[in-house]
Amino acid sequence: MNYLAPLPVAIPLGVAAVLAGFNKRVPRRVADVLSLLTTVAAGAIALRLMVESRSSPIVYWFGGWVPRHGIAIGISFAIDPIGAGMAAFVCLLVLAAFTFSLRYFDSVGTIFHALMLGFLAAMCGYCLTGDLFNLFVFFELMSAAAFALCGYKIEDGSSQQGALNFAITNTIGAFLVLTGIAMLYSRTGALNMAQIGRSLGRQDDAMVIFAFVLIFCGFYVKAAVFPFHFWLADAHAVAPTPVCILFSGVMVELAVYGVARVYWAIMAGPFAAHRPALMGVLLTMGTLTALVGAVMCFGQKHIKRLLAFSTISHVGLLIIAFALLSPDGLTGAAEYTIGHGLVKAALFIVAGILLYRSGSVDQSQLHGQARDLRWTGVVFFCGGLGLAGMPPFATFLGEHSIETAAIRQGQWWVTIIFFLAGMLTAAAVFRVAGHVFLGRGPKEDGATEGAKDIKEDRETRGGNNDGIPATMFVPALLLVLLAIAVGVIPHLHRQMRVAGFTMADQHSYVARVLDGTQIGDAHPARESGSWAGSLARSLGATGAALALAAFALSSKWPQRKKRPYAIPLRGPLYALRAIHTGHIGDYVVFLTFGVAVVGLSLLLLIRVFGI
């Protein structure tokens, strides 16, 4: 099956080049059909690769440069079920985004299709590659396509700020990654991840640690981890909705995947003796990200920005899952990525539907305007349930796996973070649902507090009252149904665990890539975890979210007049809002200090405290 390996990258790139080359001469509908077919083809191949790689990971050497005597010079794709599964998931969401955009844009050039396909190819390559520099190149290709898509249609209207902030902060992150890669190359003389892992062995001097700090901080800029997260909300506020689906659904999660891949292929050896130190740093980052994102999410009224902050919060949960540095945590992260991606994509599609209808995604301007869109409202509400981690959504499956792994490692408090993040992000969605689809709550006339009024007229004119096209509603419905279906597929969890254990087995990965030999199969031991704890947590979070949303829509909510019970909260909340200035200089200051603090605390923990 080896010859299939490069196709999920090659096919979309080729079609993208053709579409870009014949830009004006290709009719829009031809470009639409061609893009949909390409995405389906790439997705089918990725699925095939996933199935094939279950028995043994697929290693594909470009140009036939296979390693001799365990020394790799060529560039390889090293495909395991999680990598191929992520690629297939990328294709699914791109398919949803293309379907949604069929009727969404009033006019769209084929450049849009070409950029989306380039984005798709880069993300697939990123998932499949086994080469560290290749990972960086696909990461940059992904970024470049994302910047251009974020600024797509920008000449028609308002805000370049979001796209510029996105491009600048993420480019700095990419340079951090490149510097880290250069340091690893200077130490090992290798760029193949398996080769670097084998050469490093268990060396854990300051340079290796610092190289990993640069690599994971660089990737975490894209993953929007606190304190690197500021760009994400700005980018989502200005990016066209189909692009937001991909940003929130897969792009930021892929950055988490990249760090996990680098850790398990290269750094598991050097950090074997320092796992508590790395765990401590990563768990802190994840917790802060989850809480900051959740609080900011509840404070938003611009729906796309609200969903963007919710993404930040849920990425924090993913970071916590990865930070457990155990195969079970990795399994949970993979399950949660799929569940969250499906739900979040559906939520963004609903936001796009509102924008298509009314030309606004501001909660206060949309008060009761979508009362007639009953089923769209149901989808939106179900999305909220998914964010809270309600069974049977796939998010529940993921959260349960992560919690089980965390409790086994003595990190029971993770459950509290999951409760808080799920509750606040779901409450924000329920509040919007009650406000927009049911017309509950006070009707406000003023502009949104904190965030300035953001014009959205450049994507679509709005005012389309003649019903919602099926190409918009059906993808949202299917995504939500799929999120439920993934959560109830029997034995899925067992398959995912095998995949997680395969990815987390450095020795067999290295042997498979460099020597072409297979050392044993991943046979994870039976796990013992009860569903009761997670079930209670998710039901509690959903209940609390509903109560909070009802409270926010009631007259008791402190609107303009001060209520005594709101005073102690005001200071911290306003301080938190105040640091989201929208100014690129401030973002880069946070980024610089963030990297310095992370690097120093990790060095301190390892060198001084000897953890």
Partner 1 sequence: MSIFPYLVAAWLFIIGLYGIISSRSFVHIAMCLAVVQSSTYVLLLTIGYRYGAGAPIFASVPPGSPAVDPVVQALMLTDIVVEATLVALLLSLAVQAQKAKGTVDPDKLLELQG
Which positions touch partner 1 (CB under 8 A)? 133, 137, 140, 144, 147-148, 151, 154-155, 157-164, 167-168, 171-172, 174-175, 178-179, 182, 185-186, 191, 233-234, 237-238, 299, 305, 449-452, 454, 577-578, 580-585, 588-589, 592
User: Closest CB to partner 1 among 7 and 238?
Assistant: 238
Q: Whole-number minimum distance, CB 430 to partner 1, in Å?
A: 21
User: Closest CB to partner 1 among 231 and 393?
Assistant: 231
DSSP state, residue 315: H
User: Closest CB to partner 1 among 282 and 591?
Assistant: 591
Q: Whole-number minimum distance, CB 255 to partner 1, in Å?
A: 17
Q: Whole-number minimum distance, CB 332 to partner 1, in Å?
A: 32
Q: Whole-number minimum distance, CB 274 to partner 1, in Å?
A: 25
Could you tell me which residues come within 8 angstroms of residue 305 by beta carbon, excluding any fewer than 6 positions away? 233, 236, 237, 451
DSSP state, residue 453: P
Token pair listed for 295: 């609080």
Q: Whole-number minimum distance, CB 42 to partner 1, in Å?
A: 23
User: Closest CB to partner 1 among 87 and 181?
Assistant: 181
Helix H or strand E encompassing 482 = helix 470-488
Instruction: Say if residues 183 and 132 touch (Cβ distance below 8 Å).
Output: no
Rounded distance, CA 236 to CA 249, Å?
A: 12
User: Closest CB to partner 1 among 58 and 167?
Assistant: 167
Instruction: Say if residues 329 and 282 touch (Cβ distance below 8 Å).
Output: no
User: Closest CB to partner 1 among 172 and 407?
Assistant: 172
325 sits in the region (left: phi over 0; alpha: psi -120 to 50; else beta) called: left
Q: Whole-number minimum distance, CB 38 to partner 1, in Å?
A: 22
Rounded distance, CA 219 to CA 185, Å?
A: 18
Q: Whole-number minimum distance, CB 6 to partner 1, in Å?
A: 18
User: Closest CB to partner 1 among 177 and 315?
Assistant: 177
Closest CA to 276 of 568, 611, 599, 540: 611
Closest CA to 281 of 232, 341, 220, 238: 220
User: Closest CB to partner 1 among 126 and 393?
Assistant: 126
Omega prior to 276 cis, within 30 of 0? no
- Crossing angle of helices 81-104 and 252-262, rounded to 10°: 170
User: Closest CB to partner 1 among 55 and 581?
Assistant: 581
Q: Whole-number minimum distance, CB 75 to partner 1, in Å?
A: 11
Instruction: Say if residues 420 and 291 touch (Cβ distance below 8 Å).
Output: yes
Instruction: Say if residues 231 and 148 touch (Cβ distance below 8 Å).
Output: no
DSSP 173-225: HHHHHHHHHHHHHHHHS--BHHHHHHHHTT---HHHHHHHHHHHHHHHHHTT-
User: Closest CB to partner 1 among 207 and 489?
Assistant: 207
DSSP-derived 3-state class of residue 348: helix
Token pair listed for 309: 């902050």
Token pair listed for 165: 């902030």
Between the two ends of the chain, the Cα-to-Cα distance in Å is 45
Q: Whole-number minimum distance, CB 466 to partner 1, in Å?
A: 31
Q: Whole-number minimum distance, CB 76 to partner 1, in Å?
A: 15
DSSP-derived 3-state class of residue 400: helix
User: Closest CB to partner 1 among 208 and 238?
Assistant: 238
Residues listed for the chain: 611
Token pair listed for 511: 């042997």
CA dihedral 87, 88, 93, 99 (to 10 degrees): 130
Q: Whole-number minimum distance, CB 562 to partner 1, in Å?
A: 19
Q: Whole-number minimum distance, CB 267 to partner 1, in Å?
A: 20
The phi and psi torsions of 365 (rounded to 5 degrees) equal -85, -20
User: Closest CB to partner 1 among 175 and 375?
Assistant: 175
